[in-house]
Structure 1
Amino acid sequence: MQLGGPDYTVPLGRRDGLTFATRKVTIANLPSQISNTGTILASLATKNLDATDVVALSGGHTIGLSSCSSFGNRLYPTQDPIMDKTFAKNLKAICLTNYTIATTVLDI
């Protein structure tokens, strides 16, 4: 939708699966958005995915939106020292506080 493509509903689960996926089961089987690299690699290794697969999956998540609440803790009260200063400055212009209810594109 963000890129102007069509919008359509996709049911959860695989057509070849024995059961239908639920939101709860899906979330339980994915690493958290705040997971570090080691945790993500270990979690997805249980699904027979290697580092190359994880890079491809992660790259696919650079298109879209993110809410300030999903990364605000890296900006406030103090900025994460490994975050690029210009990138953080641009994010802070959108997310004025750790509790700002706003979204931003992922490719600032």
Structure 2
Amino acid sequence: MKKFVALLLIVVTLLTLSACGSKDALAGTWSAELGADGTITWTFNGSGKCTMENAYMKQDGTYTIEGDQLTVTLEAWSDPSTYTFSVDGNSLTMNENSGYGISGTFTKK
């Protein structure tokens, strides 16, 4: 029984430690001045929830990451948008794959 308890404690400890390092690369607030849309600010919570805000609106949504593909669904969008993204230090580059969405390079706040 003692071996089982010890093994269980080890497993719980490992799971706890692995959860600490699972924060995704997008976690945080990013903004950029993007022409006619003004300043666009994305906030990613690190757990699949996001917000996109500009001078005209603020929308909540969800996101998923698979490799370098970011899929975002905002409440007012009829379909999700998929972006190819990269993070380099305090810069996030998002390119909407269909070519007509919100694309640009954002700076971490």
The TM-score, its normalising length taken from structure 1, stands at: 0.22
More RCO (CA 8 Å, sep 6+): 1
Structure whose residues are more often strand by fraction: 2
Considering only CA atoms, is the larger Rg found in Structure 1 or Structure 2? 2
Structure whose residues are more often helix by fraction: 1
